[in-house]
Amino acid sequence: ANARPLHLRQALEELGTSFIKLGQILSTRADLLPPEYLAELTKLQDSAAPVAFEEIQEVLVSELGQPIDQIFTHFDPVPLAAASIGQAYAANLADGTEVVVKVRRPGIVEQVNEDLEILKELAATASRHWNFAEHYDLTGLVEEFSQTLRGELDYIREAHNAERFAVNFATDSHIHVPRVFWEATTSRVLTLERIRGIKINDLKALDEQGTNRRWLADYATNIILKMVCED
């Protein structure tokens, strides 16, 4: 029985994009799963084997309507990161500005739609045959999850959200939201100003640069409360 949480995580990783995302959401739901499952699901890594650069280049050219070297003076073909929905690349715009270019994986929309149909079927079946489901609106949960995941597939939406965050926090000098470069952004390609920082759980690096971690924790909490309660 102890191996079950591990097997669940491995199964979700093997099933790919939609199921990894579902597992990540479930890892935050202490009302739905026991602690050993939550602990295992927080280990879910949203990483995937990178798509060949030739395929990525095809997406860039068809989306941006011109050869890569007309938009970027430099474009590193080795991805900074490869996740299940997209891959991120380091590049420079014509004026030298450092950017990160996120490119959606070819075929991912079709795959996600197929996965979501399967999840819908599973939720409907579970609702009929599983006592546990009586207390939870499983089909409603899947519907909400579907909307969230489909939203993640659209980089135009993500770009608008980034600009909204920037406006909402415009008076706060401690927050920097990467700028969107619209001339190199479509629903499948997102180009953002590159910023470098320290991951919030890299305690050693935070201490080395003299960050007051208690202040940071308070501050981060206030940011979340502002987003949820005010904005």
Measure Cα distances from 88 to 85, 104, 110, 136, 206 in Å: 10, 9, 21, 37, 25
Collapsing DSSP to helix, strand or coil, 75 comes out as: strand
Tell me what the mean pLDDT of segment 214-223 comes to: 96
Q: What is the pLDDT of residue 136?
A: 76
Q: What is the pLDDT of residue 198?
A: 94
Q: 174-206 pLDDT, tens per residue?
A: 999 999 999 999 999 999 999 999 998 899 999
DSSP codes of every residue in 112-160: HHHHHHHHHHHHHHHHHH-GGGGGS-HHHHHHHHHHHHHHHT-HHHHHH
Tell me what the mean pLDDT of segment 97-113 comes to: 95
Q: 13-48 pLDDT, tens per residue?
A: 888 889 988 898 889 888 888 899 999 998 887 777
Between 140 and 72, name the one with better pLDDT: 72
- Which helix (H) or strand (E) segment holds residue 167: the answer is helix 155-168
Q: 168-181 pLDDT, tens per residue?
A: 999 999 999 999 99
177/223 Cα distance (integer angstroms): 13
Residue type, 155: Y
Q: 49-98 pLDDT, tens per residue?
A: 889 999 999 999 999 999 999 999 999 999 999 988 999 999 999 999 99
First vs last C-alpha separation in the chain: 44
Displacement of CA 212 from its chain's centroid (Å): 28
Q: What is the pLDDT of residue 2?
A: 78
* Global pTM value: 0.84
Beta bridge partners of 98: 92
Q: What is the pLDDT of residue 133?
A: 65
Q: What is the pLDDT of residue 1?
A: 56
Q: 111-136 pLDDT, tens per residue?
A: 999 999 999 998 888 888 777 666 77
